[in-house]
Structure 1
């Protein structure tokens, strides 16, 4: 099984790469950070520097990679656009879409993938949290494109995992004390009473890759965070 993970050098993408490599898959990871690429290269088949938002780099990468079985799209612009909408500039809104939705769609256009595509969205698309309008818009668009993509690209399967609060570097914009308080509040608001870990989402991605009868699905992996707002 040959798998490409864009955004596979940290957080959810890295946890997914490690899980699939442990299963014996040939895993190719992409990222922008040279230090992170160097740190993971010995644990995967290949680690390449690719900016998922650079159309030329993405096209060249998929041309030289050729056909493969499964594509995981896990890169993100981070918390760009986080904040009250009246205080958020349009450049940040555009950047949130460029860094995720548009990057994912371009990768899907160019990837020679034969088995499945799994995208990493976010629970913001299904919640009602002040300050997350931009994130909800970008991730909601991902959710919306899954059914038509699954129909259009068949028999390639297309799915999204939709994590809640997960302990990754995405939250590094917050000081440690504030981050701990945010995690505690998020954990208290879920039925499972804990914060998510990258391995939790990686396991869901692993399931979707292997679930050959599942397509067109948005799979919540949020500990029940969005049950009240679903």
Structure 2
């Protein structure tokens, strides 16, 4: 059984690749960073350089690959997405929207997947936090697309996992003090009392990959952060 994880060379994507490989799947990961790709070769079945925003390259990749069972989409925008709507230039907004919303839907359109598609969105789709307008728009759009995709692509199953605050290299763009303050505030506000780890999300993805009777759903993995108070 084969799985493709786009954005599988770091953070949540790499945790998913590790977990699915351990479960016996032949995993191909894609990414843009040659150094990260080199680091994961030997840990997975294959690692290929691919920019998910270039449709011709995405189409060619999936044409070469042929049919496979499971697709996981785990790439996304950088911290440029943290900005108020008044400070978002058109170029900055595109840098947030294109890699994830455009990239995910382009991959789904070209992938010859036969079993399941799992999208990684984010809890920003369901919270009202200043400075996350662009992230909320992208992730909210993806989560809204899950149900029609599940109907369009049936019998292929389509689901999303929606993480909360996860301790990954995504936060490297913040200073150590900023990151520590963010994590402390989240841990205090979250019913489980901590921020998430990449494997917390990977376990949810693994469940959905094998959950033959689950489709059209968004599974929050946020420690209860987005629960209404």
Indicate the RMSD between aligned Cα atoms, in angstroms: 0.8
| Structure 1: unaligned runs, 5 residues or longer | none
Q: How many residues align?
A: 229
Q: List aligned pairs for 1:136-155, cutoff 5 A.
A: 136-155=136-155
Q: Deviation digits for residues 147-181 of structure 1, max 9, x if unmatched?
A: 00000100000001000000011111101121111
- TM superposition score normalised by structure 2: 0.98
CA distance in 2, matches of 1:62, 1:219: 27
1:29: which partner in 2?
29
- TM superposition score normalised by structure 1: 0.98
1:72: which partner in 2?
72
1:53: which partner in 2?
53
CA distance in 2, matches of 1:178, 1:143: 29
2:9: which partner in 1?
9
Give the ranges of 4+ consecutive aligned residues of structure 1 lying more than 2 Å apart after TM superposition.
none
CA distance in 1, matches of 2:86, 2:178: 23
CA distance in 1, matches of 2:157, 2:187: 32
Q: List aligned pairs for 1:1-230, cutoff 5 A.
A: 1-228=1-228
Residue 76 of structure 1 aligns to a residue in which SS?
coil
CA distance in 2, matches of 1:90, 1:50: 25
CA distance in 1, matches of 2:169, 2:76: 11
CA distance in 2, matches of 1:175, 1:59: 38
Q: Deviation digits for residues 118-157 of structure 1, max 9, x if unmatched?
A: 0000000000101001100000000110000000100000
CA distance in 2, matches of 1:79, 1:149: 28
| Structure 2: unaligned runs, 5 residues or longer | none
